[in-house]
Amino acid sequence: MRSGSRLRLFGVIFDGPAKQKQLTDLESEIGDPEFWNNPEKSQRLMQQRKRLEQAIANSRQVADAMSDIDTLFELSKEGEDVTTEIGREFSSLQGRLEALETGMLLSGENDARDAIITIHPGAGGTESQDWAEMLLRMYLRWAERNGFQAVITDRLEGEGAGIKSATFEINGENIYGRLQSEVGVHRLVRISPFDANARRHTSFASVFVYPQIDDEIKIDIRPEDLRVDTFRASGAGGQHVNRTDSAIRMTHLPTGLVVQCQNERSQHKNRASAIKQLRAKLYEFEMDKKKAEERKVEDSKLEINFGSQIRSYVLAPYRLIKDHRTKLAIGDVDRVLDGDLDPLIHAFLVWKKTGKTAGDNKGELEE
């Protein structure tokens, strides 16, 4: 497979020559002596150059991998047993292509932003609270596996086990766009560790994701519209108990939106974090109002209530995770709960963009 060819693999299109021409044109513009006179434009074009360079590198890597596979097939024709090597190379290539396709599918207005995530257990007391904590761990492990930075800004412990709520930030490339796959109700079926009779229980927890809004987007928060309450942060006890009223709860009176932060011992830092969360929620609130009609269509697919789960995690009597939108089913439950969410994220982005589910044709291979 030639590295300069136009390549389509599993629905991912690489066009090396076109990308190279765009980069050449961009380099000419960057070389202009007047280029740095407009900092905002120059920063945007430098980021575009970085994306083009990465796209060209990806195209070359995929072409090289295809060349290696072609070589293995030639060796197979000559009688050598390279079945294991071919399988390994195909598996590696498919994983790389799915990761690249995920990046290509993230083109929404806020997809590239960092995200603020909140988790709330459903009805069911300790069972649902424990499930909410399992989801929190899953997302933190996902961030860790991918090298993203995660910070818990608010965590309210449950009674006996689990959590009553949690808010956390994940910072990294395309976090908001990736985690759109997680918005909705998550259902767990298992033998309860809290039931002395070892009966099977069903638990629910909801996940919401907001984009982190930077200072370039103007969200007007007037001091007179805020009610700020301070309280003593909760903790695990002993030395972890905060002995000062450093935690912040902030209520936006016109909308009724409430945020709180108790992660830091400094009230000033907690206030800054709460303002950031409020800006994100207000942005989402305004976007919802502007796109009310469009959201009606989307909400019919992703309605968030406890009778319409987006994904089921079954641990008993069999073990299976199934996404009800994309139809993707994964039998390795432990792997997913340990943070391997990328196949679920990729399947969701494909479904959202094309309407294709996991059972549909994944794509084609052609030069």
Report the alpha-carbon distance of residue 154 to residue 167 in Å, rounded.
5
Q: Where are the alpha helices (DSSP H) in 264-337?
A: 267-290, 292-302, 333-337
Question: For 359, how many CA atoms within 13 A lie in the half-sphere containing its CB?
Answer: 7
Alpha carbon separation from 140 to 117, 125, 316 (Å, rounded): 11, 23, 24
Q: Do 255 and 286 form a contact (C-beta atoms < 8 A)? A: no
Q: Between 294 and 105, where is the model more confident?
A: 105
- 142: pLDDT strictly greater than 90: yes
What pLDDT does 312 receive?
Answer: 96
Count helices and strands in the chain by DSSP H and E runs = 9, 14
What pLDDT does 241 receive?
Answer: 45
- 88: pLDDT strictly greater than 70: yes
- 6: pLDDT strictly greater than 50: no
Report the alpha-carbon distance of residue 128 to residue 120 in Å, rounded.
9
Q: Find the range with the poorest average confidence among 92-106, 166-180, 316-330.
A: 92-106
Q: Which amino acid is at 91?
A: S
What pLDDT does 80 receive?
Answer: 87
pTM over cut 0.75? no
What pLDDT does 310 receive?
Answer: 95
What pLDDT does 160 receive?
Answer: 83
Q: Do 59 and 19 form a contact (C-beta atoms < 8 A)? A: yes
**β-sheet bridge partners, residue 229:** 249
Q: Do 193 and 360 form a contact (C-beta atoms < 8 A)? A: no
Q: Find the range with the poorest average confidence among 70-84, 127-141, 207-221.
A: 207-221
Beta strand 320-323 pairing with 311-314: antiparallel
Sign of CA dihedral 158, 185, 261, 149: positive
Break the chain into its structural domains and give their ranges: 6-105, 115-354
Q: Is the omega angle on the peptide bond into residue 254 within 30 degrees of 0, that is, cis?
A: no
Q: Between 295 and 225, where is the model more confident?
A: 225
Q: Between 3 and 306, where is the model more confident?
A: 306
- Tokens representing 88 are 């390994």
- How large is the average pLDDT for residues 183-205? 92
- Tokens representing 75 are 């060796």
SS3 category, 170: strand
Average pLDDT over the chain reads: 82
Q: Which amino acid is at 332?
A: D
Per-residue pLDDT band for 96 (boundaries 50, 70, 90) equals: confident
Render the burial of 165-176: b for 16+ CB within 10 Å, e for the rest.
bbbbbbeeebbb
Q: Is the omega angle on the peptide bond into residue 193 within 30 degrees of 0, that is, cis?
A: no
Q: Residue 76: CB partners within 8 Å, gap ≥ 6? A: 82, 83, 86
Report the alpha-carbon distance of residue 174 to residue 195 in Å, rounded.
41
Q: Do 280 and 274 form a contact (C-beta atoms < 8 A)? A: no
Q: Find the range with the poorest average confidence among 109-118, 243-252, 346-355.
A: 243-252
Of 50, 208, 147, 192, nearest in space to 342 by CA? 147
Out of 156-165, 214-223, 323-332, give the one with best mean pLDDT. Answer: 323-332
Q: Between 33 and 200, where is the model more confident?
A: 200
What pLDDT does 303 receive?
Answer: 44
Q: Residue 239: CB partners within 8 Å, gap ≥ 6? A: none
Residue 229 dihedral angles phi and psi, to the nearest 5°: -115, 140
Q: Which CATH number fits domain 115-354: 3.40.50.300, 3.30.70.1660, 3.40.640.10, 3.90.420.10?
A: 3.30.70.1660
Report the alpha-carbon distance of residue 65 to residue 163 in Å, rounded.
46
- Tokens representing 319 are 């073990």
What pLDDT does 214 receive?
Answer: 64
pLDDT tens-digit readout, 166-183: 999 999 888 999 999 999
- 194: pLDDT strictly greater than 70: yes
pLDDT tens-digit readout, 212-263: 876 556 677 888 999 999 887 765 544 444 556 788 999 999 989 999 998 8
Of 144, 145, 218, 209, nearest in space to 177 by CA? 209
The CATH class that applies to domain 6-105 reads mainly alpha
